[in-house]
Chains A and B, each alone.
Chain A
C-alpha cells in the first residue's frame, strides 16, 4: 500500500483523485455506486451567487471520443446550496470543494465569502473558464488582467484553499497561470473544456442551442497533458490536472507531467465507479513499480 497523500497549500487529500465540477453533481447522485469517502476530493457543480436556469436544450452532443456540452452553469444559487445541499454533503468523509462562478469580481467574491463560512468546505475552485455563459465565466479567464482581477477580489475575502480553474481557449495558458499565482492562488486546475461546434447537416444548423459548447472526454487528453506539463514547469504552486482522464494510466501520465492531483470528469458518465478504480489503480501501479509514495512520480517527466 503506497502513500497516496497529497497536499495543496495546507489542505491534505487522502489520495489525488478528485471529481471534476459538473460531472459528479453534488456527489450524492453517485452515492449508490461508488464509496464517496474513497475519493480524494469532490468538486461540486458550479455555483453562482444567484440561481441560473442555464441554456436551452439541446445542451449536449456526442462526438468522437468525447462530448460537447453547453449546460451554462445551471444551479440554484449559493443560498439554496447553503440551506439545502450543504447539510446533505457536509459529512461526506472527503474534501468537499465548491466550484464558484460569477459575472463580475463582486459576485465571485461574494459567493466565495459565503462559502468561506462553511466549515466542511475547505477549498473552492474558481471557475474563470466556463465557455458556455455570455457574461463572466471564460471572459475573465482568457486574459491575464481578467484572471488576476478575479483572483485578487476573491483572495481578499477567502482565506481557505483557493484553486483557480483555467481555460485552454487561450494563446498562452502559462501566463494566465502565473497571473493567478501572483495574486495568491494556492493552485491552478486545468484544463476546462475546449470550445467546439457540431452541425446537423440535414437541418443546416448547429446541434447545440447556443451554437458552441465545451469539448470534454478522451479526445482532449493530449492537449490537456501538454498544458499541464507547461504550467507545472512554470509555476511554483501545485497544478491539478484534468481533461479526458479515463484510466489509471491517464492519471499517472498527468502526475508525471507535474500534476499534484487530478480530476476525473466525463469518464464518470461512462463508468460511475471510475474514481475508485483509478485511485485503486494508482496504488497498485505504485506497488508494482516499487514506489512507496505518490510523490515519487509527480513531475518526473
Chain B
C-alpha cells in the first residue's frame, strides 16, 4: 500500500469532551486507499517536548467528502497542541501505516467490535467498512464515564451498541469485558482496541470461547515504517515491528501471558 507524506488541511475541529477532539482533515488530491486499523504518524509543530511524530489511529476515511478523521486524546503536550489546531491549519501526515484489521469474508458473520476509551477510534472505520459490505457489526464501547463515550451516535448508525462505564453513569457499570451480552450471545470474531489490560481481558474471553480475535497494539514507536525496530512486540515469529506488521495482530501470534 503506497505511503505518503503530505500536509493535510484541517477542515473542521470538533470538541467531543474536555479531553477529546475530532480533527477532520482534507486535501486537494484524492485521499489514498486505507484500511481500518491503519494509522497516521503526525508531525506536531509548536511543541518543543514533542520530538518524534505521533501515531494516531484513523478514525474514519470518508471518501465522498475526501475527509480523513483523527480522534485525538489530549494527554501530553503534543496531543494538546494538536487539539489547538484551527480550521485551515495544516498537519503534516505520514500515512497510511500498518496493516489494519481483517475484514470478514461473509456478511452473515457475527462480528463483535470492542473499544475502550479513545481506542474506539479505529472501530468506527472498521464498523463502517463492515456495514458497507452488508455486515452487521455489534459494538461494546467502554469509558470511565458517560462524557468520555465518544461518537456514540455514529456507532449507533452502524449496528447494535452496548455500553459500559466504570462509574455506571451510562450503560452497564464496569469494564467492557463484564458486559452481560458476552454471556448471552456467541460471536464469530472480535476486533478490539483500547488499553492493554482491557485487550488482554478480551483476548482471554476470546480464547476461552474459541473466537477469532484481533487486537490493535500501540507500542512506543519512532519511524512508523518498520525501519528503526523500536516498537517491536514478541510474537511466535520473534520480535516484529508493530508499526509495519501491526498494529493489528491476531492474538494467536502474541505471547501474552493470559
Chain A interface (Cβ < 8 Å from any Cβ of B): 22-25, 29-30, 32-33, 45, 53-54, 56-67, 69, 71, 74, 217, 266, 268-273
**CB-CB nearest in chain B for A30:** B225
Most buried by A among B2, B5, B48, B229: B229
Q: Classify chain B: how many residues form its interface, as a range.
A: 20 to 34
Is there contact, CB below 8 Å, between A30 and B51?
Answer: no
Is there contact, CB below 8 Å, between A272 and B94?
Answer: yes
10 A-B pairs besides A29-B244, A60-B228, A272-B94 with CB distance below 8 A are A22-B228, A25-B226, A29-B225, A45-B227, A54-B229, A65-B48, A67-B52, A268-B227, A269-B224, A270-B51
A57 to B241, CA, bound (A): 11
A63 to B51, CA, bound (A): 7
A28 to B243, CA, bound (A): 15
**CB-CB nearest in chain B for A34:** B5
Is there contact, CB below 8 Å, between B219 and A57?
Answer: yes
Which residues of B in the span 200-243 have a Cβ within 8 Å of any Cβ on A? 219-234, 238-239
Measured between beta carbons, the chain B residues less than 8 angstroms from A270 are 43, 51-53
Is there contact, CB below 8 Å, between A272 and B225?
Answer: yes
Which residues of B in the span 137-195 have a Cβ within 8 Å of any Cβ on A? none
Is there contact, CB below 8 Å, between A271 and B5?
Answer: yes
Count how many pairs of residues, one from A and one from B, have CB atoms less than 8 Å apart in the complex.
96
Chain B interface (Cβ < 8 Å from any Cβ of A): 2-5, 43, 48-53, 94, 219-234, 238-239, 244
Is there contact, CB below 8 Å, between A59 and B52?
Answer: no
Is there contact, CB below 8 Å, between B239 and A23?
Answer: no
A57 to B219, CA, bound (A): 9
Measured between beta carbons, the chain A residues less than 8 angstroms from B224 are 269
What are the nearest 4 A-B pairs in CB distance? A25-B227, A60-B230, A32-B3, A29-B225
Is there contact, CB below 8 Å, between A269 and B5?
Answer: no
Is there contact, CB below 8 Å, between B229 and A33?
Answer: no
* A60-B51 contact in complex given A24-B227, A54-B229, A270-B43, C-beta closer than 8 Å: no
Is there contact, CB below 8 Å, between B229 and A74?
Answer: yes
Is there contact, CB below 8 Å, between A67 and B51?
Answer: yes
Measured between beta carbons, the chain B residues less than 8 angstroms from A25 are 223, 225-228
**CB-CB nearest in chain A for B41:** A269
A212 to chain B, nearest CB (A): 15
Measured between beta carbons, the chain A residues less than 8 angstroms from B49 are 64
* A273-B238 contact in complex given A67-B51, A71-B230, A268-B223, C-beta closer than 8 Å: no
Is there contact, CB below 8 Å, between A60 and B53?
Answer: no
**CB-CB nearest in chain B for A71:** B229
A64 to B49, CA, bound (A): 6
Is there contact, CB below 8 Å, between A32 and B4?
Answer: yes
Is there contact, CB below 8 Å, between A59 and B230?
Answer: yes
A54 to B233, CA, bound (A): 11
Measured between beta carbons, the chain A residues less than 8 angstroms from B4 are 32-33
Is there contact, CB below 8 Å, between B232 and A269?
Answer: no
Is there contact, CB below 8 Å, between B227 and A62?
Answer: no
Contact of B3 among A33, A57, A65, A69 (CB under 8 A): A33
A1 to B52, CA, bound (A): 33
Is there contact, CB below 8 Å, between B232 and A59?
Answer: yes
Measured between beta carbons, the chain B residues less than 8 angstroms from A268 are 223, 227
A62 to B49, CA, bound (A): 9
* A60-B231 contact in complex given A23-B223, A66-B51, A270-B43, C-beta closer than 8 Å: yes
Contact of A60 among B5, B220, B233, B234 (CB under 8 A): B220
Is there contact, CB below 8 Å, between B220 and A269?
Answer: no
Measured between beta carbons, the chain A residues less than 8 angstroms from B220 are 57-58, 60-61
Is there contact, CB below 8 Å, between B228 and A69?
Answer: yes
Measured between beta carbons, the chain B residues less than 8 angstroms from A66 are 51
A151 to B235, CA, bound (A): 37
Measured between beta carbons, the chain B residues less than 8 angstroms from A23 are 223, 227-228
Measured between beta carbons, the chain A residues less than 8 angstroms from B222 are 60, 67, 69, 266, 269
**CB-CB nearest in chain A for B43:** A270
B33 to chain A, nearest CB (A): 13
Is there contact, CB below 8 Å, between B226 and A29?
Answer: yes
A22 to B225, CA, bound (A): 12
Measured between beta carbons, the chain B residues less than 8 angstroms from A273 are 5
A122 to B238, CA, bound (A): 31
B93 to chain A, nearest CB (A): 12
